[in-house]
Amino acid sequence: MSDLAEPFPNRRRRRLLASVAGLALVASGALGGAMIAYTNPARAAAVVTSDLQAQAVPSFSPIVERVKPAVVSVRVLIDNLADNGSEVSHELDKLPPQLKELFKRLEQNGGAQPRQAPRQGMAQGSGFFVSADGYVVTNNHVVEHGKVVTVTTEDGKVLEAKVIGTDPKTDLALLKVLAPGDYPYVSLARDTPKVGDWVVAIGNPFGLGGTVTSGIVSARGRDIGNGPYDDFLQIDAPINKGNSGGPTFNLKGEVVGVNTAIYSPSGGSVGLAFAIPADTVSTVVAALQQGGAVQRGYLGVQIQPVTRDIADSLGLDDASGALVDSALPGTPAADAGVKSGDVITKLNGQPVKDDRDLTRRVGALKPGDKAEIAVLRSGKELALNVALAPLKTEKVAEVIAEPHGGASVLGVLLAPAKPSHANSSHAKSSNGAAEQGVTIARVDPNGPAASKGLSKGDVILEVAGRSVTQPAEVKAGIASAAQDGKKAVLLKIKTAQGALFMAFPLPKA
């Protein structure tokens, strides 16, 4: 029968099926499948759809079978049931018989103190073996404040463990199983995963143990305000309480991250999970295994980000690097010649992205390490050599966040800085600044200074790199920056939180 002689409904149906078959074959070819002609177009579409589904969704079964024996549940005896970030749900009297007997024996042998508080209980988390002789990685917040630690293997064995060392700054801890054995273990990945890569998380959510979830890497380099070295992987694999310390694997079965935090208004997974990347884990674990603590290098600078306004005020093309607020006296930075107003652009030849990048990279170096830093000063790049000192405080390089905002004028009333005690040779202004600079006597609540968080009593110390002592010098410095064609003017201001730089955009000519 010719096409024209065929009834219209039949012709339309045949053309539709032919179109579906054609599209299916094109899709099959694009995926590298064989070009197969089917006499039944509907069958062709069904086969290709099945092939697409098979190729689009990988099976994680081979990976899980290989790595799951290395993943353990971590249980910690604590003094109370306050939630320390791990899953705390079992009172001691409600523990499984095997665990109850273990802790009873530990108390009899002096391994644990007799219970004093009626709310003594167990915190739960996850972990994984990283060596055949029984080293286990988990989160610091899982084991902190713990008196006794045990790990439970996939086959149900409960093993006593001791804490070798912890690193609260990265929220990592290293345990060692006391019983000798040849334990299954997994390796840390050397390559950083890419956004969009598949990952598999295994852990102990809500005490269930051995739970497997999958997802993708959503982002890298996340800073969630957890600490100075935040550099998390963000994954969308479902992670819940009790997964803390558990591993996230790539499709090679390598650990790409240690699950440590979730963002959730309800306490359950909403697709925002954060894992400590494997390169950080590798460095920290090696240090903990050698000495029980992580020794970090200390530079001794207070720094802040280079915003677009600050970059414009300094004549920089890119808003990158770390702006030095001050080099603390007697520190490696001061000894090397780093000065306030310098922009640190490179560390050991590698560009510094921003202030937090510098903090993380300095913290990754060891005390005594030699480092070369490149700084921009007055438009010229200088190379300075430093020998890092041991970190004795929380500050490797303290980051000072600059408030947001900006406009064409300051919106302040200025006055010369006045000493609070006129007869003192070391007189200071009301906010602690020495008798120098120009005091902000009043702030326009709708002006740019107010939008940046400045208030009455703050002191302007420098304008465009020059010290000021009179309001006229502030005005002249701003006018000079405008005449030089700068897009913004940089001010150094002493506030109650310390001295920091702020950039104020200038009006266009």
Both 268 and 145 in one domain: the answer is yes
Which of 103-107, 287-291, 419-423 is predicted with the least confidence, judged by mean pLDDT?
419-423
Which of 81-85, 153-157, 421-425 is predicted with the least confidence, judged by mean pLDDT?
421-425
When divided into structural domains, the chain yields a total of 4
Residue 117 lies inside a defined structural domain of this protein? yes
- Is the entire prediction scored with pTM above 0.75? no
Residue 305 lies inside a defined structural domain of this protein? yes
Looking at residue 474, its amino acid is V
Tell me which residues are annotated as active site.
Answer: 141, 171, 244
Match 């199983």 to its residue by tokens.
177
SS3 387: strand
Q: Flag whether pLDDT at 396 surpasses 80.
A: no
Q: Flag whether pLDDT at 316 surpasses 50.
A: yes
Residue 406 lies inside a defined structural domain of this protein? no
By the 10 Å C-beta count (0-12 exposed, 13-18 middle, 19+ buried), 279 is classed as: middle
Pairing of strands 389-390, 297-298: antiparallel
- b/e string for 139-162 if b means 16 or more Cβ within 10 A? bbbbbbebebbbbbbeeeeebbbe
Residue 341, domain CATH: 2.30.42.10
Both 329 and 190 in one domain: the answer is no
Both 191 and 156 in one domain: the answer is yes
Match 């702006």 to its residue by tokens.
323
Using alpha carbons, list the distances in angstroms from residue 427 to 434, 435, 456: 6, 6, 19
**Lookup: tokens for 366:** 């060891």
Give me the DSSP letters along 257-276.
EEEEEE--SSSS--S-EEEE
H helix intervals, 75-130: 97-108
Averaged pLDDT, 439-450: 79
pLDDT for 321-346, tens place per residue? 999 988 888 899 999 999 989 999 99
Please compute Rg for the chain using Cα positions: 31
Q: How far apart are CA 48 and CA 27, in angstroms?
A: 8
Both 249 and 377 in one domain: the answer is no
Strand blocks (E) in 357-467: 370-377, 380-387, 389-390, 397-399, 412-416, 438-443, 459-463, 466-467
Pairing of strands 198-203, 148-152: unpaired
By the 10 Å C-beta count (0-12 exposed, 13-18 middle, 19+ buried), 337 is classed as: middle
Averaged pLDDT, 369-390: 91
Both 273 and 154 in one domain: the answer is yes
Residue 488 lies inside a defined structural domain of this protein? yes
Q: How far apart are the first and last CA of the chain?
A: 80
Residue 2 lies inside a defined structural domain of this protein? no
Domain residues for 317?
A: 297-399
Q: When comparing pLDDT for 270 and 505, which is higher? A: 505
End residue of a domain, out of 399, 432, 451: 399
Residue 154 lies inside a defined structural domain of this protein? yes
Both 425 and 366 in one domain: the answer is no
pLDDT for 461-487, tens place per residue? 999 888 888 887 888 888 888 888 888
Q: 41 pLDDT band (50/70/90 cuts)? A: low
Both 50 and 64 in one domain: the answer is no
User: What's the mean per-residue pLDDT of the chain?
Assistant: 76
Residue 381 lies inside a defined structural domain of this protein? yes
SS3 298: strand
Q: 105 pLDDT band (50/70/90 cuts)? A: low
The whole-number pLDDT of residue 240 equals 82
Using alpha carbons, list the distances in angstroms from residue 9 to 3, 5, 143, 225, 271: 11, 12, 71, 64, 48
Name the strand (E) or helix (H) holding 129.
Answer: strand 121-129
The length of the chain is 509
Residue 162 lies inside a defined structural domain of this protein? yes
Percent of the chain with pLDDT over 90: 34
End residue of a domain, out of 227, 258, 291: 291
Q: When comparing pLDDT for 14 and 107, which is higher? A: 107
CB atoms within 10 A of CB 318: 11
Both 364 and 313 in one domain: the answer is yes
Match 């042998």 to its residue by tokens.
109
Residue 243, domain CATH: 2.40.10.120
Both 108 and 256 in one domain: the answer is yes
SS3 202: strand
Both 206 and 246 in one domain: the answer is yes
Q: How far apart are CA 432 and CA 416, in angstroms?
A: 15
Both 39 and 145 in one domain: the answer is no
Which of 53-57, 122-126, 339-343 is predicted with the least confidence, judged by mean pLDDT?
53-57
Both 47 and 83 in one domain: the answer is no
Match 């005594």 to its residue by tokens.
368
The whole-number pLDDT of residue 466 equals 87
By the 10 Å C-beta count (0-12 exposed, 13-18 middle, 19+ buried), 19 is classed as: exposed
